Amino acid sequence: MKKIVFAPTIAPAAWAIGESLLPQGFSIEVLSKDEGRRSEQLQNAEFLMGFRSGFAAADYQHFRKVKLIQFLSAGYDGMDLQKLRELRIPLSNNGGANSYAVAEHAIMLMLAVYRQLPDLHGLLKAGKWKSNKFGEEEEHEVAGKTIGIIGLGMIGKTLARRLSGFEVKLLYTDPVRPSAEEEARLKVTYVEPDALFREADIVTLHAPFDRSTHHMICDRTLQLMKRESILINCARGELVDEDALYRALKERRIWAAGLDTFDREPPDPKNPLFTLTNVVLTPHAAGPTWESWPKRFGNSYANVERVARGEAPRWVVPELRG
């Protein structure tokens, strides 16, 4: 019986899905918080599964038999990749299991920002009505806009496919470019990052957090964006210099933003961004949907089975490939 150790603890209903899909020949158990029991579990585990918040720096010394760390999430920042490289342990993310969820959330934020949904909702709940003067509308359409996708991974590609019916122009930038045939299927055009910031009406972030992407949204790149453009972030909060974004939004150097992630999570309730009227906010809620759980576990188990058969894992994070 091959052992999978899972961390952290998740809701019983989601755990039941994981247990129902567990392949034959495998056992799965939750990683204990008791130090002695925890070290014993880790020392005997061949596979680790779960989310980045479930594993601590002190755990690495016990990874003696581990053949694969398999995350149910797309994000893996906070893991000690250098240590995993030294231990020769691959780390894989969820293979796009939440790509539909994040892509739909990004589109929701685009629409909510452009149509000023929170303001309209609040207006009606306060017993008021919109202006009856034609020509005073401040809402906008997505149709006809140029959308710049930063990061054309699983989520970026899913987003591109979802946006194809909106009659928009799609630009993208990514260090790894797909084939010309795939670009054509996705109806996306590659541009350098600065060109994307200059040309896009909507800039949407779907890149991982690492040294190269830290604060990629900063005073310099915000200055490149159009005054009527909007920023959407359903990736990682660390991609955005929040002080710079606050200044740009307050001074209307860009029109608005829709943010699902923050540099600090949970964010400080006194975060200056929360005082602005041209921001739509959600609490890092893009990825988790009920429909994503069978896909998260299904992809994860399939990858574990591959490694158990002696095959190379799929979806290894870029820093640990090769």
Inter-residue long-range contacts of 302-310, CB under 8 Å, 24+ positions, other chains counted: 303/68, 303/70, 303/92, 303/95, 304/4, 304/23, 304/26, 304/47, 304/49, 304/68, 304/70, 305/23, 307/47, 307/67, 307/68, 307/90, 308/2, 308/25, 308/26, 308/46, 308/47, 308/67
**Cβ neighbours for 153, distance < 8 A, ≥ 6 positions apart:** 96, 174, 206, 207, 208
For residues 168 and 145, the answer to whether their CB atoms sit within 8 Å is: yes
Coil, helix or strand for 250? helix
Annotated catalytic, 284?
Answer: yes
* Helices and strands (H, E) in the chain, number of each type: 11, 12
Structure tokens at 34: 């008791």
Which residue in the list 185, 284, 306, 314 is annotated as catalytic?
A: 284
For residues 234 and 202, the answer to whether their CB atoms sit within 8 Å is: no
Annotated catalytic, 265?
Answer: yes
Closest CA to 274 of 297, 298, 245: 245
Closest CA to 98 of 293, 321, 301, 273: 293
Annotated catalytic, 105?
Answer: no
Which residue in the list 38, 105, 140, 236 is annotated as catalytic?
A: 236
Which residue in the list 19, 29, 137, 265 is annotated as catalytic?
A: 265
**Cβ neighbours for 262, distance < 8 A, ≥ 6 positions apart:** 237, 242, 271, 284
For residues 258 and 232, the answer to whether their CB atoms sit within 8 Å is: yes
Burial of 193 (0-12, 13-18, 19+ CB in 10 A): middle
Residues with a catalytic annotation lie at 236, 265, 284
